[in-house]
């Protein structure tokens, strides 16, 4: 009898390929080990079985998404965004499973839970609302131990509570002034601008960050150019060029929203050190062939060879790019003194491929 391919098997092969592209040693077992833990019970299910939980990590409910960060310094990092799904999922059970994963990671790696503990009661409620309660990202670099980041959901107590929740969390983390900065630069368009993630680096270093994400419904280049001026030394024109090349224009982006994020470290007294812009490119292209072309237009300007993007895409899939849309899910541009660069987010497509616009139209 054949042993069925599991979700973990599928994702592990993609991760292994991607790590190879990023220059990891073949014998480095850490990526596969942490992926297995992150996926939890969902990872052990056969790929042919439907997802047990409709994770919002990816469009097809796969609870992981990969990304490859091209740092301006020439370094590469592979990242995994993921949600831990237990055997019998549900809002409360998912939080329990996520905490077990966190405890497990803390036992093995240099994870500092102090800041997590300082705010968890705000975000981890008994009856979480919204699309998730706790997500993780694992940051993998060749020859280094994996680093961990947690994402809380500011909308977990409803949209109305989000701003108060974020303000209180920042206060507890010694970043009281950060809230005003974000409000002034990124929450300028009423209900169209909203907090979407509250993230913490869980390592001990001096650059361990708090990251705040704001989504901009129907935002355009001017929305994010304004948002970026919160960070000293960032040239807003870089964002306009990025959107023009990678997003096909300056907007407005009326599908999935542009997202801004700010990185704060404790010593900063309210001024963020970095700004990042996330472009959900899959909503603004007919298929992945065009998404690739737009990503390349930007990457080549940033000095990244085309072959590297193609190898990363090849690490995920061998399907024709014109058949689907969403393999290249997001592109992001990071600017500031903690380091600049571009990140390409790649879907696992474990459960399904979104047909290209042409295919979807032909099927009508």
- The contact set with ligand TRP (CB under 6 A) reads 56-58, 65, 81, 256, 259, 278, 280, 330, 345
Distance CA(35)–CA(137), nearest Å, equals: 10
Residue nearest to ligand TRP (CB): 278
Q: Are 138 and 38 in contact (CB under 8 A)?
A: yes
Instruction: Choose between 280 and 336: whose C-beta lies nearer to ligand TRP.
Output: 280
Distance CA(6)–CA(47), nearest Å, equals: 5
Instruction: Choose between 136 and 278: whose C-beta lies nearer to ligand TRP.
Output: 278
**Cα separation values, 282 from 158, 325, 329, 335, Å:** 27, 6, 5, 22
Distance CA(277)–CA(239), nearest Å, equals: 8
Least distance between ligand TRP and beta carbon 227 (Å): 15
The token pair that represents 217 in the structure block: 């419904």
- Whose CA is closest to 341, among 81, 76, 102, 3? 76
Q: Are 272 and 227 in contact (CB under 8 A)?
A: no
- Whose CA is closest to 14, among 68, 61, 84, 56? 68
Least distance between ligand TRP and beta carbon 67 (Å): 8
Instruction: Choose between 57 and 321: whose C-beta lies nearer to ligand TRP.
Output: 57
Least distance between ligand TRP and beta carbon 288 (Å): 15
Instruction: Choose between 116 and 132: whose C-beta lies nearer to ligand TRP.
Output: 132
Instruction: Choose between 15 and 58: whose C-beta lies nearer to ligand TRP.
Output: 58
Distance CA(71)–CA(23), nearest Å, equals: 14
Instruction: Choose between 157 and 330: whose C-beta lies nearer to ligand TRP.
Output: 330
Instruction: Choose between 82 and 121: whose C-beta lies nearer to ligand TRP.
Output: 82
Least distance between ligand TRP and beta carbon 213 (Å): 7
- Whose CA is closest to 256, among 224, 218, 221? 218
**Cα separation values, 338 from 72, 96, 110, 273, Å:** 11, 33, 21, 6
Instruction: Choose between 76 and 79: whose C-beta lies nearer to ligand TRP.
Output: 79
Least distance between ligand TRP and beta carbon 31 (Å): 19
Instruction: Choose between 70 and 345: whose C-beta lies nearer to ligand TRP.
Output: 345
Instruction: Choose between 298 and 330: whose C-beta lies nearer to ligand TRP.
Output: 330
User: Which residues share a beta bridge with 211?
Assistant: 199, 263
Least distance between ligand TRP and beta carbon 262 (Å): 14
Least distance between ligand TRP and beta carbon 81 (Å): 5
Least distance between ligand TRP and beta carbon 200 (Å): 16
Give me the DSSP letters along 297-324: HHHHHTT--HHHHHHHHHHH--S-GGGB
Least distance between ligand TRP and beta carbon 343 (Å): 9
Q: Kindly compute the dihedral angle of the four CA atoms of residues 247, 248, 254, 260, in this order, to the nearest 10 degrees.
A: 30
Least distance between ligand TRP and beta carbon 171 (Å): 25
Give me the DSSP letters along 205-257: STT--EEEEEEETT--HHHHHHHHTTSTT--HHHHHHHHHHHSSSS----SSP
- Whose CA is closest to 218, among 191, 239, 180? 191
């Amino acid at each position: 009898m054949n042993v069925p391919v599991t979700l973990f098997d599928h994702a592990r092969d993609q991760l292994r390929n991607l790590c190879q592209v990023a220059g990891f040693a073949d014998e480095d077992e850490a990526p596969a080990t942490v992926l297995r833990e992150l996926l939890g019970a969902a990872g052990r299910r056969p790929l042919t079985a439907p997802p047990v939980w409709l994770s919002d990590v990816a469009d097809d409910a796969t609870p992981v998404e990969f990304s490859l960060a091209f740092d301006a310094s020439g370094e590469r990092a592979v990242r995994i965004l993921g949600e831990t799904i237990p055997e019998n999922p549900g809002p409360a059970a998912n939080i329990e499973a996520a905490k077990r994963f966190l405890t497990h990671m803390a036992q093995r790696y240099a994870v500092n839970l102090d800041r997590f503990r300082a705010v968890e009661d705000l975000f981890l409620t008994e009856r979480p609302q919204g699309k998730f309660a706790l997500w993780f990202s694992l940051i993998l670099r060749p020859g280094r131990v994996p680093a961990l980041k947690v994402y809380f959901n500011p909308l977990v107590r409803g949209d109305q509570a989000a701003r108060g929740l974020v303000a209180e969390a920042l206060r507890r983390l010694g970043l009281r002034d950060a809230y005003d900065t974000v409000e002034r630069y990124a929450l300028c368009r009423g209900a169209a601008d909203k907090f979407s993630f509250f993230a913490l680096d869980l390592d001990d270093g001096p650059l361990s960050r708090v990251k705040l994400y704001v989504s901009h419904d129907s935002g355009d280049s001017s929305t994010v150019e304004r948002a970026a001026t919160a960070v000293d030394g960032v040239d807003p024109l870089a964002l306009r060029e990025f959107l023009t090349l990678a997003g096909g224009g300056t907007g407005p982006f009326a599908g999935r929203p542009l997202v801004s994020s700010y990185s704060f470290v404790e010593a900063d007294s309210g001024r963020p050190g970095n700004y990042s812009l996330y472009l959900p490119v899959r909503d603004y292209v007919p298929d992945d062939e065009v998404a690739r072309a737009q990503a390349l237009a930007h990457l080549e300007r940033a000095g990244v060879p085309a072959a590297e993007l193609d190898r990363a895409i090849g690490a995920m899939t061998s399907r024709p790019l014109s058949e689907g849309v969403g393999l290249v899910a997001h592109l992001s541009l990071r600017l500031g003194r903690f380091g600049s660069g571009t990140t390409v987010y790649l879907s696992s497509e474990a459960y399904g491929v979104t047909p290209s616009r042409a295919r979807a139209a032909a099927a009508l």
